[in-house]
Amino acid sequence: MILLIAWVGPLDSHVLMLSQEHDKKARGFQLHDEDDDDDDSDDDFSDDEELQTPIDEVDPFIFFVGTIQAVQASDPARFQSLMQTLDFHYQALANGVAQHAEERKVEIEKEKLEKANAQ
């Protein structure tokens, strides 16, 4: 999260709107308490590593780069202004994040293909 603030600068409603549109995939996970009591017992929780939620499918690097690309596509002048305010270190860091996101996309596609072939 620190990277997002350092790279984008102050978050405003436009960036937040683009972020919310991009993370629709991660929405929909809600905890439902059937008996609606206020018991804070640890018995209600488990360390089930097999539990899958919609957000598990969201890679943070791919999400971040997608959000930045959405800003670039929707408001090129603003994107250019943001990029010009970054010093060399942060520009290099942003490029590294973008490169890692592309590598993750390839890895995820490879994993999906392997999973599909195994079934």
**The predicted structure's pLDDT at residue 29:** 47
What long-range pairs does 18-25 form, CB within 8 A, spacing at least 24? 18/67, 18/70, 18/71, 18/74, 19/67, 21/70, 22/63, 22/66, 22/67, 22/70, 23/58, 23/63, 25/54, 25/57, 25/58
**The predicted structure's pLDDT at residue 42:** 56
Residues of the chain with pLDDT under 50: 1-11, 25, 29-32
| pTM passes above 0.75 | no
**The predicted structure's pLDDT at residue 118:** 87
What long-range pairs does 42-50 form, CB within 8 A, spacing at least 24? none
